[in-house]
Copies of this chain bind each other. A is one copy, B any other.
Amino acid sequence: MPRPHVVIVGGGFGGLYAAKALRRAPVDVTVIDRRNHHVFQPLLYQVATAGLSAIDIGEPIRRILRRSRNTTVLLGEVVDVSADEVVLASGDAVRFDYLVVAAGAAHSYFGHDEWAEHAPGLKSIEDALDIRRRILSAFEEAELEPDPERRRALLTFVIVGAGPTGAELAGAVAELARHTLEGDFRRFRTSDARILLLEAGDAVVPGYPPSLSAKARRQLERLGVEVRTGSMVTEVSADGVEARGERIEARTVLWAAGVAASPLGEALEAPVDRAGRVQVEPDLTVPGRPNVFVAGDLAAVHQEGRPVPGVAPAAIQMGRHAAAAIRRLVEDGEAPVPFHYVDKGSMATLGRSAAVAQIRGLRLSGFPAWVAWLTVHIFFLIGFRNRLVVLFEWAKAYLTYGRSARLILYHRR
């Protein structure tokens, strides 16, 4: 009798940890992702701001799972899901007995998809390289621009959305302008660059306690970021944005405001929430489909009345939960138990020695939060090379303010 076949869609944290947890289970596993690499998303903003190289935060999925002899990795994009098959864009179909859908999320422009080309978001390594190219190219063009007004627009950077990603991006761009690039240009001062962080709500890093939000704001302002809360963006074009009736001329606009779940949620014919996330059962299965699990950003899970956040630890826990449930079903024929999210805390880094962290009851900001952030992120980075090189890059950046990854690739002339 053939062993049950588990198909996992997505090689992010959810899918990867599900696959790892099934390594010794009596099943065959196939992991399908449209990219060949796992991305350590919490550090994407560092690639976007030239602090790290793409390979520092990416690792081939088949490399990570090479010792899982029961696991096959396929490069392909899943476009549909039937009762017992997933269908790839190539037309190939892969049959499954159990399915774990961990396809993640993309950006949402709240119905203004035309803004996407002017204000890229940050979900993949390609996104990060695109943002890096835009930021560095703006400085390059400023060196060539004789007109002071246009130069000013080139040196204005708008980040929309002050969640952790937006706050981290804003802090990193400010450091890039004020320290890293200092002395490299001859016709303007890089510290004249303006970095604006626009947030529709009334606090930066919403979701953190108000005292930490306030501290995050002060730290960002000290780094040179203009923080504007209560500032909803109503228009984005190639030349800038409009917010609260005011026009801001800016050649570089970055989007960190909205999240939309993978369209695969709808292919499951399950109920989805406004962001497209699948409203799963307490055991993470799709209603009416006890052999189909959803994990990570694609799953809408509530616990004690609050949504489980779309962060890496939540995705890891869901992936492991789905794998454990499948093992129980296969090995003992027992029904899954409800998923329980353990909140280990959250943290965001804003710049050199600047961060906020909330770990269980503990609230940290400034240098202690930054050290906590460093430790956790180094620890969780997948792959030995990465940990060592990233540590080295960060040590060097701390000592010199230098950033190594300053190449503009695929420059558009």
Contact = CB atoms under 8 A, between A and B. Distances in A.
B54 A413 contact: no
Interface in A159-205: 183-187
A280 B226 CA distance: 55
Contacts of A396: 385
A140 interface: yes
Interface stretch (A255-263, A332-340, A344-352, A404-412): A404-412
B143 A63 contact: no
A125 interface: yes
A129 B409 contact: yes
B411 A36 contact: yes
A83 interface: no
Given A55-B405, A396-B385, A407-B54, A72 B34 contact: no
Contacts of A273: none
A177 to B, nearest CB: 14
Interface stretch (A73-81, A227-235, A372-380): A73-81
Contacts of A34: 411, 413
A408 B37 contact: yes
A2 B62 CA distance: 61
Interface string A370-400: 0000000000000001001100110010000
A366 interface: no
Given A185-B62, A404-B55, A92 B144 contact: yes
A83 B72 CA distance: 63
A84 interface: no
Contacts of A364: none
Contacts of A55: 53, 404-407
Nearest to A36: B408
A184 B184 CA distance: 44
A54 B409 contact: yes
A60 interface: yes
Contact of A75 (B144, B183, B389): B144
A243 to B, nearest CB: 30
Nearest to A386: B404
Interface string A47-84: 00000011110101011001000001111110000000
A329 interface: no
A90 interface: yes
A392 B63 CA distance: 19
Interface of A: 34-37, 53-56, 58, 60, 62-63, 66, 72-77, 89-90, 92, 125-126, 129, 136-137, 140-141, 143-144, 183-187, 385, 388-389, 392-393, 396, 402, 404-411, 413
Given A37-B408, A55-B405, A55-B407, 7 more contacts: A36-B140, A53-B53, A53-B54, A60-B407, A72-B143, A75-B408, A92-B144
